[in-house]
Structure 1
Amino acid sequence: MGRGKIEIKRIENLSNRQVTYSKRRNGIIKKAKEITVLCDAQVSLIIFASSGKMHDYCSPSTTLPDILEKYHKQSGKRLWDAKHENLSNEIDRMKKENDNMQIELRHLRGEDITSLNYKELMVLEQGLENGLAGIRDKEMEYYRQKKKEEKELEEDNKRLNFIMQMQQQEEMGKRQQEMAMEDHHHHQQQQHHHHVMETNGGGGGYHPHHSQHRAAAAAVNYNNGGGNNSNNVNSQMPFSFRVQPIQPNLHERI
């Protein structure tokens, strides 16, 4: 008894639907691999489940972008809108420009120049000379900038040295002023001390001014009649110490 034909319609049961999807997907991918090997065909397969999950397969001898590019050329159908087409053209242009720049860079380094003709070599030489002149101008600009910075540093150094010297001179002036004030104060203290000693009679000490003052006072006292006291003093002194009056020698005058 043969198998009955399965009706092709959406499977309502979610669990049965997922099981069926997994089996059929694996079967389709298996068939794609077989036809790739058996028939040397280029196969690209993309499958999206109802949940949104994607599964794909592409023959090892190609890639999905290559398959899509071939489809676009052979079918004539536009896979991208005008915006994406312009973007693709811009990418191609930038790739070509980058390739040309890489070639020019190799030429500037002296590489791959055997294929260049005389005119191309002259253009290359002119470009190198212009580049060398630009480099020299940049070097001179850098040198001038460094000299300017060096001069500014020297000016700053001179200004700082001048400020330090002024500060040192100011500090020395302050110290000299303080020392002068201290000497003046010490001198005033000494004068005050001498004045106190003179006022108090020397405080028992000897001072030449005091002796002169006493001698002068004694002379004044003697002239004012104080000499009468000498008799009393002589009377009290021993005989051997008494002062005898001096008489003029009459014989010498005759």
Structure 2
Amino acid sequence: MARGQIQIKRIENQTNRQVTYSKRRNGLFKKAQELTVLCDAKVSIIMISSTQKLHEYISPSSTIKQLFDQYQMAVGVDLWRSQYEKMQLQLNKLKDVNRNLKWEIRRRIGESVNDMGYDETVNLIEEIHNSLQVIRERKYKVINNQIETGKKKLRNVEDIHRSLLLEFDIERQDDPHYALVENEGDYNSVIGFTNGGQQIVALRLPTNHHPYLPSGEGSGRRATFDLLD
């Protein structure tokens, strides 16, 4: 039974369309490879699927550029001229933009102003004034951020200070060997804190020390001394 002729039209089912594309693409590339080997031909095929995927076959002994150069020589056309002209126009536009920007920069720093009229000078002054206003606002914002950051750091230091004072009070209540001393010596442990701008250190005395016991409370010598920075 002979196979029926397939009507050539777009396949509506997307899955079937992709399967057909893949099979026929492989078949086409296989034929191109056979032509390259059997006939010593230079073959190039570029295919883009409906999903924008690029597939290409190029004879192993050739490159895309070589094939395009040979095509131009064969048909007598220049495929790159129009693209080159477009790129040249774009380059000239960019050069003009760059030239104008340099001219504006020179004027804003006080150069190339001799050829300016009154209206241009007034406009330039206004533009510079507006720019300075924006810069000042940015400066004030940065300063405010730095102040807020400093306040946060100060609050953290104050929290640490309160924590140290609380820890010191707890240690004095739990262990009567902790007190404030004024003489140097060998101490078992140290607690430091700040009191009204004065730095104070609490040291735990060893058992062989016999500190003065004020009012019959505690077992440490009570005194304060400043610490050197």
Q: TM-score range by the shorter chain?
A: 0.3 to 0.5
Structure with the greater alpha carbon radius of gyration: 1
TM-score by length of 1: 0.33
User: Which has a greater percent of helix?
Assistant: 1
User: Which has a greater percent of strand?
Assistant: 2
